Amino acid sequence: MGLKRLKRKTTAETSGVQLTTITAPMSVVTEQIKTIRTNLNYAMVGKPLKTLMVTSAIQGEGKSTVAGNLAIEYAKKGLQVLLVDADLRRPTVHQTFGVPNQRGLSSWLSGQLEDVNDAIHPALAHLFVMPSGPKPPNPAELLASDKMTEFLTVATRKLDLVIVDAPPVLPVTDARILAGQVDGTMLVVRQNGVEKTAVRQAVGALKKAHTQLLGAVLNDVDVKTHGYGYGYYGTEAN
């Protein structure tokens, strides 16, 4: 898939990401998000997509932007969607949707909450968000815990789709840990923003984690040369 070139936000951690699906619902970018949603549905023919992880090779490729906008588009179709900020190191969901981050995924995984619903907030019609919570000293250990697996299992019984905004693959192990716990993974790649070698390394790491790689999203595409802003490319990132 491919998305229109947007001005890169360098303050995602303090102001969140651009939700073009809300601010410009008739834009080319929003249409491409819809195309990504459609292609993901085709990629999972014969098996329902209940948990989707969105990640990237390195930081700054737009994974959180894609995850947030994709969650909105699925919710617009009437699905009950939960967007989980599993990037416990560099979270953005709470800023993007304007929810408090005092309690979140890390609070639940570390046993600081008795009721997981205290960490989940309604965002839009049919869309709920779970912020990361306070930054823990041991993110990888929390994400690898049985409690994380249990959370995803229970969430999918009550919701139609859980989208996990995960950290990038190469800098830390978190995404590789989560990869084996979801139905499918989508890799976001920023055009001219990451070396092909790094993308191949990320794909290899995800495959070793036994995830189903559903495809790659090419982000920040120059509309002058490609005509669109996002593009979805098959089930392999070559």
pLDDT digits (tens, 9 = 90+) for 5-56: 444 444 556 578 999 999 999 998 899 999 999 999 888 777 889 999 999 9
Output phi, psi for 84, to 5 deg.
-110, 125
Q: Give dist(CA 233, CA 225) in Å, integer.
A: 17
Query: What pLDDT digit, counting tens, does each position of 103-124 carry?
Result: 999 999 999 999 999 999 999 9
pLDDT at 152: 96
User: What is the predicted pLDDT for the residue at 191?
Assistant: 82
The Cα 188–Cα 55 span in angstroms is: 6
Reported as a pLDDT band with limits 50, 70 and 90, residue 169 is very high
pLDDT of residue 10: 43
Yes or no: say if 53 and 182 are a contact pair by the CB < 8 Å rule. yes
The Cα 85–Cα 71 span in angstroms is: 12
Please write the tens of the pLDDT for every residue from 51-86: 999 999 999 999 999 999 999 999 999 999 999 999
Band (237; pLDDT cuts 50, 70, 90): very low
- DSSP structural state of residue 32: H
Q: Residue 158 has which token pair?
A: 């009550």
Average pLDDT of every residue of the chain: 88
Mean pLDDT of 130-155: 96
CB 61 within 8 A of CB 194: yes
User: Coil, strand, or helix at residue 142?
Assistant: helix
Give the integer Cα–Cα distance in Å for 35 and 91: 26
